[in-house]
Amino acid sequence: MLNLGKRNVLGVLIDAVDYEAVVALVFDRVRQKRGAIISALAVHGVMTGKLDPEHKFRLNSFDLLVPDGQPVRWVMNWLYRTKLRDRVYGPRLMEEICKRAAVEGEPIYLYGSTNTILASLVEALTMKFPGIRIVGSEPSVFRSLSLEEKTAIEQRIQSTGASIVFVGIGCPRQEIFAYELRNTVSAPVLAVGAAFPLLAGVLPQAPCWMQRFGLEWLFRLLVEPRRLWRRYLYLNPAYLVLVALQYLGVCHFPTQGRSPASEVLVG
């Protein structure tokens, strides 16, 4: 188990951890009936924090921000010699946690995506992890929520007795969602990106060789060009330039953000 603590990547505090360390923290909190907020961040997630001081404040309040993308892992190793042997990929992390939850009988809750994808995801998880207890699932409404709607969601999740909550509504909305549930849901909340459609079999996964060489972004761009072209063609080069400036000491990126002016949940 590896947990070397947080490291500053463009002002966002990424944890140098492996799968085992994340799973251990999740189930420690489950046993203690305490909440935690965790997100798997790739380049897009890091850059969102870099460009938005309010979102950086949220991200740096998380219990764990794990290096989901290979370029994030490489930078951790390059800047800080963390010697991370693997990234902590959101879909695999979700599988590891579901596997243990099924063995230990801990109930899970799924929030995000669409009814169609959720139905496929529930079926896929049930087949892969016999005995898993999925005590609730709810699709995203793809808009901001009122205070009343936010309270209702919190109450629905709490009423199920879920020990672990998975959120899959896309970056940065899922991190905002997790952040704003931090004091009201007494269970670990994990933002796992595209894990829902990937594990449901709705969205194809990049071949292993592309994942290993950090080319998953290219695969996803080819699959969803209209939705993702701005994200990858602007943010990826900017990330590389800024990381180089951090490495050379030309730029220093403070970790202090700005407290959000309001906390209206996005779902």
Instruction: Write out the chain's pLDDT in tens, 267 residues.
Output: 889 999 999 999 999 999 999 999 999 999 999 999 999 999 999 999 999 999 999 999 999 999 998 999 999 999 999 999 999 999 999 999 999 999 999 999 999 999 999 999 999 999 999 999 999 999 988 778 888 888 888 899 999 999 999 999 988 999 999 998 988 898 999 999 889 999 999 877 778 887 787 777 777 777 777 776 677 778 888 999 999 999 999 999 999 989 887 765 666
Q: What CATH number is associated with residue 190?
A: 3.40.50
Q: Is residue 158 part of a domain?
A: yes
Q: Is residue 187 part of a domain?
A: yes
Q: Is residue 120 part of a domain?
A: yes
Q: By residue range, what is the domain housing residue 120?
A: 3-200
> What's the structural domain count of the chain?
1
What pLDDT, on a 0 to 100 scale, did the predictor assign at position 134? 97
Q: Is residue 27 part of a domain?
A: yes
Q: Is residue 157 part of a domain?
A: yes
Q: Is residue 230 part of a domain?
A: no
Q: Is residue 48 part of a domain?
A: yes
Residue with tokens 């230990």: 104
Q: Is residue 244 part of a domain?
A: no
